[in-house]
């Protein structure tokens, strides 16, 4: 008998009688002041939020807040005059010297400050992790109150890799002292783009 | 990293509490985390309903694990992930070795995985010429110290920053006497970045695996799992078979509970969903049993398999906080470790279910509502019945059972006890009486309640 057969036989023998799954449709968050709630949560985690009217404002803040003499890389063609456009073909190790990565997120979750990014939006999987600073652009229409709405929006999803990212890389392993930038980004900035708002605050 | 197995929990705890200042700090730091957990939990009105839902989802998983395992395997395979099955620790280690060997990989970077600690993977690979670096900062520190983690979420919570500074000075060449957490973290960051950039093999743990989609989720705050996995040629993920969940939407429930219960954060910084290997990368999943199917068959203890490894039961446990994780001489310490360990080796871990006050705080904070303290109590019954309990405890229990069995023996024992405490206190206030340790024996009352009652004849007066 193979290990697979052995394990499955033991599990089948020992598992209890089938019990039903609970209805988790009852869990719903509130849509009110959702961007503000997100902003409060994300700021408390140690992130920065900028509400911006358009890409021009994003550029201005990048120039003001980051060292543009260092390598800035983006997946957004609209930013190609401020940053270098990523390549999906290069070895991911070559991103080691990236100071700032600017990428787009599909949605943002108000209750915990996390944004959802798929591999397609990241350009390369390593990009949001290897950079010294991470900036994410998310449309004001793409905010959801809780993780339940987030997963409803995502569905099964067409991606090889996807992630919620909820702040700068951090650790408190040394005496519970919070330190930003354990391995990945030391800071994380979220730009909330008001451009596509339809009657929402 | 083989632990001292000649001492039991009480003896190891005794070693830990010798350093009173350390114990006070340890106790306070963990309680602070427990309070952070309470604060964020209270911000969610539906918190208790979420716990209930999580518990019921896990009940369903355990009741249908056979089919979910097959469903997961089929979907993961379709996604291009190679799925392996390991009956025990030995087979798990052999599979990891064979994957690395086929790729001629001699160095591997590993993110936090309690399962591989349980399997003693690092030692196994080292004996075969493969070096492993643990990349979670706390685990990295523990690896430098040649000690296992003392907490599943906070691996070096028992260490003071000065000790970590000393380790970094010795191994990483940091300034002698440097103990600033930010400076020490930056030192490790520099060294570990070099590790991430040079390792072709990466191993991660798994927090949740979704049967419906064949993807698995890894949660970290540091981003170390991602740094390792996305730069590697080969990504191996090791998971216990109980880590499955039925559908992707169930992640919403568990990700809301996990970090809040663990550290009081609304979510871990990174919740990474691995579904397919990167172009040109190999991705493997090892499904490990190692006693889990046996625990599934133990009606009283199967719910322990619901555990999502948040560590809340440790942070709240008055015994854990004062005795330290290493006193449990098991990969998973604390209350949950004490109900998981006897399944693996009842004799070796016979002391652990007794390392509890049965106060029930663990069960109250558990995000998947495991009846931890009830199981601790039930394990005690099993262990005594199987004859694994220490002789002194058995004799004491038998004497107590005889004393309490009849009013005459109870009255006589009371008299003797009072006389001894009053006239010869040295007979009980000595090292031979385990109860006397860290406690003062009470002063003896002049008479028993029965004698007092008879003298005052309250019955006649009322």
Q: pLDDT tens across B96-151, in order? A: 999 999 999 999 999 999 999 999 999 999 999 999 999 999 999 999 999 999 99
Query: Across the interface, do B278 and A165 touch by the CB < 8 Å criterion?
Result: no
- Strand runs labelled E in B205-359: 208-210, 215-220, 234-240, 244-245, 270-274, 282-288
A200 — pLDDT class (breaks 50, 70, 90): very low
Domain ranges for chain A: 24-193
- Rounded to whole angstroms, the Cα distance separating A128 from A119 reads 10
Whole-number percent of chain B with pLDDT over 70: 97
- Rounded to whole angstroms, the Cα distance separating B93 from B278 reads 24
Query: Across the interface, do A10 and B297 touch by the CB < 8 Å criterion?
Result: yes
In what helix (H) or strand (E) does residue B204 lie, and over which residues does it extend? strand B201-204
Contact status, residue A153 vs residue B261, Cβ threshold 8 Å: no
Residues 6+ apart with CB under 8 A from B21: none
Query: What pTM did the predictor assign?
Result: 0.92
CATH class of the A24-193 domain in this structure = alpha beta
How many residue contacts between A and B have a Cβ separation below 8 Å? 245
Nearest residue on chain A to B213, alpha-carbon basis: A156
Give residue-wise pLDDT tens across range B230-280. Answer: 999 999 999 999 999 999 999 999 999 999 999 999 999 999 999 999 999
Residue among A4, A165, A171 whose CB faces B222 most closely: A171
- Residue A134, chain B, CB below 8 Å: the answer is no
Residue among B57, B265, B271 whose CB faces A22 most closely: B57
A201 — pLDDT class (breaks 50, 70, 90): very low
The confidence score (pLDDT) of residue B440 equals 75
Contact status, residue B183 vs residue A181, Cβ threshold 8 Å: no
Closest CA to A62 of A43, A42, A84: A84
Contact status, residue A99 vs residue A66, Cβ threshold 8 Å: yes
Nearest Cα of chain B lies from the Cα of A51 at a distance, in angstroms, of 22
* Residue tagged 């039991």 (tokens): B8
Query: Across the interface, do B252 and A161 touch by the CB < 8 Å criterion?
Result: no
Nearest Cα of chain B lies from the Cα of A124 at a distance, in angstroms, of 9
Residues of chain A neighbouring B289 (CB-CB closer than 8 A): 3, 6-7, 10
- Residue A47, chain B, CB below 8 Å: the answer is no
Nearest residue on chain A to B46, alpha-carbon basis: A27
> Residue B445's CB: how many other CB atoms inside 10 A?
13
Query: How does DSSP classify residue B243?
Result: G
B5 — pLDDT class (breaks 50, 70, 90): low
Strand A133-139's sheet: what is its strand order? A48-52, A187-193, A133-139, A98-104, A71-74, A84-85
B228 — pLDDT class (breaks 50, 70, 90): very high
Residue among B32, B222, B248 whose CB faces A183 most closely: B222
Residues of chain B neighbouring A25 (CB-CB closer than 8 A): none
Residues of chain B neighbouring A18 (CB-CB closer than 8 A): 60, 63-64
- Residue A8, chain B, CB below 8 Å: the answer is yes
- SS3 assignment, position B132: strand
The confidence score (pLDDT) of residue B461 equals 59
Contact status, residue B315 vs residue B305, Cβ threshold 8 Å: no
Query: Across the interface, do B252 and A183 touch by the CB < 8 Å criterion?
Result: no
> Residue A105's CB: how many other CB atoms inside 10 A?
22
**Residue B462 predicted with pLDDT over 60:** no
Whole-number percent of chain B with pLDDT over 90: 82
B33 — pLDDT class (breaks 50, 70, 90): very high
Taken in order of first residue, the domains within chain B and their CATH numbers are 1-43+301-387 (1.10.1060), 44-133+199-290 (3.40.50.10420), 391-461 (no CATH)
Residues of chain B neighbouring A156 (CB-CB closer than 8 A): 212-213, 248
Q: What's the whole-number average pLDDT of chain B? A: 94
Nearest residue on chain B to A23, alpha-carbon basis: B53
Query: Across the interface, do A161 and B273 touch by the CB < 8 Å criterion?
Result: yes
- Residue A164, chain B, CB below 8 Å: the answer is yes
The confidence score (pLDDT) of residue B413 equals 84
Query: Across the interface, do A173 and B136 touch by the CB < 8 Å criterion?
Result: yes
Residues of chain A neighbouring B66 (CB-CB closer than 8 A): 8, 11-12, 15
Query: Across the interface, do A15 and B65 touch by the CB < 8 Å criterion?
Result: yes
Residue among B161, B213, B221 whose CB faces A170 most closely: B221
B459 — pLDDT class (breaks 50, 70, 90): low
Which range has the worst mean pLDDT, B18-22, B204-208, B399-403?
B399-403
Residues of chain A neighbouring B53 (CB-CB closer than 8 A): 22, 24, 27
- SS3 assignment, position B283: strand
Nearest residue on chain B to A8, alpha-carbon basis: B66
Give residue-wise pLDDT tens across range B145-178. Answer: 999 999 999 999 999 999 999 999 999 999 999 9
- Chain A segment 71-90 residues within 8 A of B by beta carbon are none
- Chain A segment 111-130 residues within 8 A of B by beta carbon are 111-114, 124-126, 129-130
Query: How does DSSP classify residue B89?
Result: H
Residue among B161, B222, B277 whose CB faces A169 most closely: B222
Closest CA to A21 of B389, B62, B98: B62
Q: Please state the ipTM of this predicted complex.
A: 0.96
Nearest residue on chain A to B48, alpha-carbon basis: A27
């Amino acid at each position: 008998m193979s290990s697979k057969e052995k394990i499955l036989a033991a599990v089948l023998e020992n598992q209890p009688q089938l019990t039903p799954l609970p209805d988790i449709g009852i869990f719903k968050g509130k849509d009110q002041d959702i961007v503000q709630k997100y902003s409060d949560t994300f700021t408390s985690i140690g992130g920065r939020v900028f509400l911006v009217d358009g890409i021009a404002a994003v550029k201005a803040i990048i120039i003001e807040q980051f060292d543009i003499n260092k390598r800035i890389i983006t997946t957004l063609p609209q930013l190609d005059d401020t940053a270098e456009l990523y390549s999906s073909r290069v070895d991911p190790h070559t991103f080691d010297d990236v100071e700032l990565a600017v990428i787009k997120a599909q949605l943002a979750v108000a209750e915990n400050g996390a944004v959802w990014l798929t591999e397609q939006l990241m350009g390369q999987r390593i990009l949001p992790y290897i950079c010294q600073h991470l900036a994410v652009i998310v449309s004001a229409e793409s905010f959801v109150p809780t993780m339940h709405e987030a997963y409803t929006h995502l569905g099964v999803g067409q991606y090889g890799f996807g992630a919620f990212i909820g702040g700068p890389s951090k650790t408190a392993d040394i005496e519970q002292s919070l330190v930003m930038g354990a391995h990945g980004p030391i800071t994380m900035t979220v730009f909330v783009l008001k451009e596509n708002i339809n009657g929402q605050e | 990293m083989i632990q001292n197995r000649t001492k039991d929990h009480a003896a190891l705890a005794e070693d830990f509490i010798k350093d009173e200042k350390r114990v006070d700090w340890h106790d306070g730091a963990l309680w602070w985390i427990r309070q952070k957990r309470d604060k964020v939990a209270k911000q969610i009105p539906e918190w208790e309903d979420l716990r209930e839902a999580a518990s019921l989802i896990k009940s369903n998983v355990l009741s249908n694990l056979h089919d979910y395992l097959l469903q997961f395997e089929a979907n993961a395979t379709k996604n291009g992930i190679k799925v392996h099955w390991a009956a025990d620790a030995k087979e798990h280690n052999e599979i990891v070795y064979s994957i690395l060997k086929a790729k001629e990989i001699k160095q591997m970077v590993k993110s936090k995985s309690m399962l591989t600690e349980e399997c003693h993977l690092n030692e196994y690979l080292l004996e075969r010429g493969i070096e492993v670096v643990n990349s979670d900062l706390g685990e990295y520190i523990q690896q430098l110290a040649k000690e296992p983690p003392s907490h599943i979420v906070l691996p070096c919570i028992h260490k003071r920053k000065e000790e970590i500074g000393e380790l970094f000075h010795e191994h990483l060449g940091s300034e002698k006497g440097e103990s600033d957490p930010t400076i020490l973290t930056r030192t490790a960051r520099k060294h570990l970045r070099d590790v991430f950039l040079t390792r072709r093999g990466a191993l991660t743990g798994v927090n949740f695996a979704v049967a419906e989609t064949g993807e698995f989720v890894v949660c970290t705050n540091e981003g170390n799992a991602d740094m390792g996995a996305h730069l590697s040629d080969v990504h191996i993920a090791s998971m216990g078979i109980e880590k499955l969940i039925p559908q992707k939407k169930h992640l919403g429930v568990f990700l809301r509970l996990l970090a809040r219960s663990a550290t009081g954060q609304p979510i871990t910084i990174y919740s990474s969903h691995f579904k397919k290997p990167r172009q040109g990368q190999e991705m493997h999943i090892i499904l490990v049993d190692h006693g889990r199917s046996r625990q599934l068959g133990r009606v009283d203890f199967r719910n322990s398999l619901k555990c999502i490894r948040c560590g809340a039961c440790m942070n709240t446990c008055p015994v854990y906080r004062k005795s330290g994780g290493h006193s449990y001489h098991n990969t998973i310490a604390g209350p949950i470790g004490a109900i998981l360990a006897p399944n693996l080796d009842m004799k070796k871990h016979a002391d652990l279910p007794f390392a509890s006050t049965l106060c029930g705080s663990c069960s109250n904070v558990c995000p998947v509502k495991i009846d931890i303290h009830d199981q601790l109590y039930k394990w005690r019954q099993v262990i005594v019945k199987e004859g694994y309990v220490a002789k002194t405890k058995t004799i004491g229990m038998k004497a107590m059972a005889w004393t309490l069995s009849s009013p005459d023996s109870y009255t006589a024992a009371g008299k003797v006890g009072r006389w001894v405490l009053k006239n010869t206190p040295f007979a009980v206030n000595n090292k031979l009486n385990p109860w006397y340790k860290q406690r003062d024996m009470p002063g003896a009352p002049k008479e028993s309640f029965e004698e007092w009652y008879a003298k005052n004849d309250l019955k006649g007066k009322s």
